[in-house]
A and B are shown apart, each in its own frame.
Chain A
Amino acid sequence: MTRYAIPLLTHHPLRLGLTIGGVALCLVLMLFLLSIYSGVADGSVDYIRQSKADLWVLQENATNILRGTSILSTAHGNVLRSVSGVRQASAVLLSLTSINRDGRPATIFLTGFDPASNLGGPPSIIQGRTIASDSEIVLDKSFARKFAFAIGDTVILKDGPARVVGLSTATNAFVIQYAFASLRRVQSNIGFSTLVTCYLITLEHDARKNEVADAIREELPGIEVFDHATFLQNNMHEMESGVLPLLYTIAAIGAVVLTVILTLLLSISILEKRKDFAVLKAIGAPHGFLPRLIAGQALVITIAASAVSLAMFFPFVAVVETLAPEISTQSSPNHVMFVAGAAVLLGLVSSFLSAERLRRVYPLESFQ
């Protein structure tokens, strides 16, 4: 059917080009949202995923660190370290902290950890080193790029300056980026020297997670203990429930726009070629012939638009990531397949909607 669909489309090259361009932009939007989702899904929880902790201990009812508050004290640490099977219990204090860079305000997820154990510290340093003293700080790479921080620069925190000694990756949570300082320094920064957010526990080789978790619960009522996988899942769920509805909504709008563009083009094409279609009906075109011709046109457009969108997508992402380094995307062949499949499906929906007009084309019109 594409044998006739292609010439019918190329008969109006400008219109075809605009339509393919419009559909391709919608597909780029969908691909972009998918890659942002993957980037966010990974980036938001990479800090947790790459942690070496076997167990996470938080305040009662706190299930995650992305959108929950957990307040514990340093005294909990002493009890945790005494539980049988616990090798290390390292405190982490997370604090949303405002800083100022040349008059530009910025917010970081300042993470205080114990440099000696490195539990809860930056999962991956790509430039410089991790902190060695209270006066040092490690920044997320994309945050540093956005605010033009380099190794050796100074970040002014509430309680004084901190020198940038390293840049980390896997610490971009999309809406906010992690920064790492010593636990003592972060406690000093917020003005509470015994406050922590959670404890990261590593176990002795022969210890069983469940048994240690139960022992901790017994020793410290009013706290939550999660194994690593559950805690990671909790945070992913939290991230998805916050971000996914927005992404889905925008993707749905893109899909609707794509369908509308295609339906309009195909409907206009039917109206313009009304007499042609009337003739085809008069001379015996079978029932499904004309709808298949329209579906063929939709397929040609969506396949061409998929190819164009793929060619546009990677340069587009490169530009976006240059302009907004905090946006981290992650694309895969599955995304491309999914978007191309969705495009074909929406193309068929469009052809179905516009083919309704064929019902009102009458063979006798060819004799007028």
Chain B
Amino acid sequence: MNAIDTPLVQLINVSKVFTSGEQKTCAVNNVSLDLFTGEMIVLLGPSGSGKTTLLTTLAGLLQPTTGTVMLFGKPMTSYTPAELQHVRAVRIGFVFQTFLLMEALTVEENVSIVTGFVRRHRDGIENEIGDLLLHLNVAHLAKKHPAELSQGEKQRVAIARAIINKPDLIIADEPTASVDASTGTEIIRLLHGFAKEQSKCVLVTSHDSRVIAFADRVVEMEDGRMILCHSPSAVV
């Protein structure tokens, strides 16, 4: 763990219960977790263990049933919906398992569209996007559509979209699940580099053991509960 100040995000005894008729499902059960800048955390667990619910809760997309989520130093409940949207646009970047790029837009447009979420001077944004695509080795694909890209290229574009607004926290949901092994390693290396070189926090859910090797901390979940939180050496 690098520079440890106040946590970017803090989950304090967070539980999330979904109710359907009389049936109640506890997707997250009394989880406490702190996320700091400069670290890469891997969330492990089988399907249905509550990883995605935890991700979406700490991103402000779900309100916890009980417990407190401190988002960038403020309780999540103190944010208005518009403020939460702004936080997600500016301070959180998302990378999805199936990339979820807009098929109708080019690579460049897929990245630039999120810059429109924030009031930024348009001057220089094109250059910034060009530099980022170059850094992620997809600059030559700027005018292509997602359908023309390989899986690995799509995921790199998705990462570009996630980091173009320079967020403090990247949430990556199974980012290597849809790519081959070597591409998966490249993707994780990129995310790891983002955490270390730019002192950002990266939270990744994954089953991939190579991902664990890059982690500062590994959090294991089962049936909504956090059963272990440890350094990767304990797992590897």
From the candidates A273, A289, A366, A367, name the one contacting B116 in the complex (CB within 8 A).
A289
Asked if A7 meets B85 with Cβ closer than 8 Å, knowing A284-B114, A285-B117, A367-B56, the reply is no
Cβ-based interface call for B103 (8 A): yes
In angstroms, Cα B104 to Cα A275, docked, is: 13
Q: How many residues on chain A are close to B (CB under 8 Å)?
A: 23
Q: Please give me the residue from chain B that is nearest to A11 by CB atom.
A: B104
Cβ-based interface call for A287 (8 A): yes
Cβ-based interface call for A79 (8 A): no
Q: Please give me the residue from chain B that is nearest to A366 by CB atom.
A: B100
Q: Are B92 and A364 in contact (CB under 8 A)?
A: no
Binding site of A, secondary structure by majority: helix, strand, loop or mixed? helix
Cβ-based interface call for B52 (8 A): yes
Cβ-based interface call for B39 (8 A): no
Cβ-based interface call for A150 (8 A): no
From the candidates B62, B86, B96, B106, name the one contacting A279 in the complex (CB within 8 A).
B96
Cβ-based interface call for A280 (8 A): yes
In angstroms, Cα B84 to Cα A7, docked, is: 29
Q: Are A285 and B85 in contact (CB under 8 A)?
A: yes
What residues of A have a CB within 8 angstroms of the CB of B104 in the complex?
7-8, 10-11, 273
Cβ-based interface call for B87 (8 A): yes
In angstroms, Cα B81 to Cα A284, docked, is: 10
Report the minimum CB–CB distance from B12 to chain A (whole Å). Answer: 22
Q: Are B88 and A283 in contact (CB under 8 A)?
A: yes
In angstroms, Cα B104 to Cα A7, docked, is: 6
What residues of B have a CB within 8 angstroms of the CB of A11 in the complex?
103-104
Cβ-based interface call for A276 (8 A): yes
Q: Which of B77-97 contact A (CB under 8 A)?
A: 81-82, 85-90, 92-94, 96
Q: Are A367 and B102 in contact (CB under 8 A)?
A: no
Q: Are B56 and A286 in contact (CB under 8 A)?
A: no
What residues of A have a CB within 8 angstroms of the CB of B94 in the complex?
279, 282-283, 366
Q: Are A286 and B105 in contact (CB under 8 A)?
A: no
What residues of B have a CB within 8 angstroms of the CB of A273 in the complex?
102, 104
In angstroms, Cα B105 to Cα A273, docked, is: 12
Q: Are A275 and B100 in contact (CB under 8 A)?
A: yes
In angstroms, Cα B112 to Cα A289, docked, is: 14
In angstroms, Cα B221 to Cα A211, docked, is: 103
Report the minimum CB–CB distance from B167 to chain A (whole Å). Answer: 9
Report the minimum CB–CB distance from B120 to chain A (whole Å). Answer: 13
From the candidates A275, A287, A364, A367, name the one contacting B85 in the complex (CB within 8 A).
A287
A199-231 contact mask (Cβ, 8 Å, vs B): 1 or 0: 000000000000000000000000000000000
**Pairs A-B, 5 closest by C-beta atoms:** A284-B89, A284-B88, A11-B104, A279-B100, A8-B104
Interface residues of B (CB under 8 A from A): 52, 55-56, 59, 61-62, 81-82, 85-90, 92-94, 96, 100, 102-106, 109, 112-114, 116-117, 161-162, 173
Could you show 16 A-B contacts with beta carbons less than 8 Å apart? A3-B112, A4-B105, A7-B105, A11-B104, A280-B113, A283-B88, A283-B89, A283-B94, A283-B114, A283-B162, A284-B86, A286-B117, A364-B56, A366-B96, A366-B100, A367-B52
